[in-house]
Structure 1
Amino acid sequence: MSMLTPPGMGGKYRITGNKYPRMRRPRHRRRYVLAAAAAVVALGLAGWGTLQLIDVFTGDGKQAAAATSHKPACRPTKAPVKALPKPGQIKVNVYNATPRGGLAKSTADELKKRGFDIGKVGNAPETYDKKVPGAGLLLGAPTSEDGPFAVLGTQLKGAAKKTDARKTADVDLIIGTAFKTLNVPKDADQALATLTKPAPTPSASACTD
């Protein structure tokens, strides 16, 4: 029997050898390290989430709020209707500046049928005779640009416009060398309707926040 065997114990309880066995404690250090690391990660995530909430409720969250905000679209509104004169309120003098005869009278007769008030009819004055290369020239006082030029211009495509020093409200239609015929009534009426139809424009109040 070994000296290490307690008295009265033998058999399978007999301790052999001449050294005491070492009793080691269970290794729990690894578990403690893992638990500590997990706690640090959890605290870090909690802190990051807190910072995000602070950003949302402070100035740093303005960009996110702006990205998700919905600005109402501008609603088109109708522009004011232009106060244009009617054809019967426009007195038109028709002059022929081409070598072809009879154009002034035939053109004046057609304009009269379309409701215009016809004034003088004849050959163009020397200043413009055979010197109007386009389809025609509309000549009148500066105030004619506000309406008479636009209305009369619907009857002749490509007519140029020019003002002079006259004080009267009449308008001259000087027929040019490229003149062929007046616009057909259907096209002229459509062009006139387009002038008097208000175009939709964005409303300033509808575009504000």
Structure 2
Amino acid sequence: MTDEPSGAQHRNRAARNDPTEWHGHRIVTEDDLGAVFDPAADAAAQLRRRRRLRHRIVIGLLAAVLLAAALFAAAVLQGWIVLSEPEPAPAASTECPAGPFSYQAPDSITVNVYNTTATAGLASQVSEALAARGFQAGTVGNSSVNREGMTAIIVSGPEGEAAAFTLQQQIPGTEYIQDDRADGTVDVVLGSGYTELVPAEKISAAVPGPMSCPWESATPAPPAG
């Protein structure tokens, strides 16, 4: 019988008493797995990786935007891209059209009549009187535009200048205003100075004439329907 050295015997006895060893092989314990696969540590590492990825994406997008802006500015400066400015909307004009204007056929003119006075139904009365003379009846309503003692304001766009002149022959002492409408309709805005239409037999349909525009420097705004 061979005697083992005392050191070897001691190791053999220690191995038999060590629950982490089996026949000379080490058994992986829960503590060993926890040291290698720590859930908290793994989650923290993943969070750091995601943060770094988002940081790179944000930096990349910012760089792309700055590069695009720089290229666009350079193209504008070089004249490769021309930025067009929007055309200003035409504003109401207080300048009196030059004329002279010819009297137009009433049935070719659509007339909107607005009442600024306290006389109820005045706009309807005037619209019906003009329709009896052949004018086409348009909108009939009220307006807040008024000047003390004014007879009426005649409003049209550039296409309705001759039509407005024709309406001025129907009402004495009217004032003309031009707005930016594109059609040939005419507005008649009745004031407190209005009394009646010019008698039909006194209207000269054959003599061209100028527009009446005495309020060129201080004109009330055109009426709203």
TM-score by length of 2: 0.45
Structure number, greater radius of gyration? 1
TM-score by length of 1: 0.49
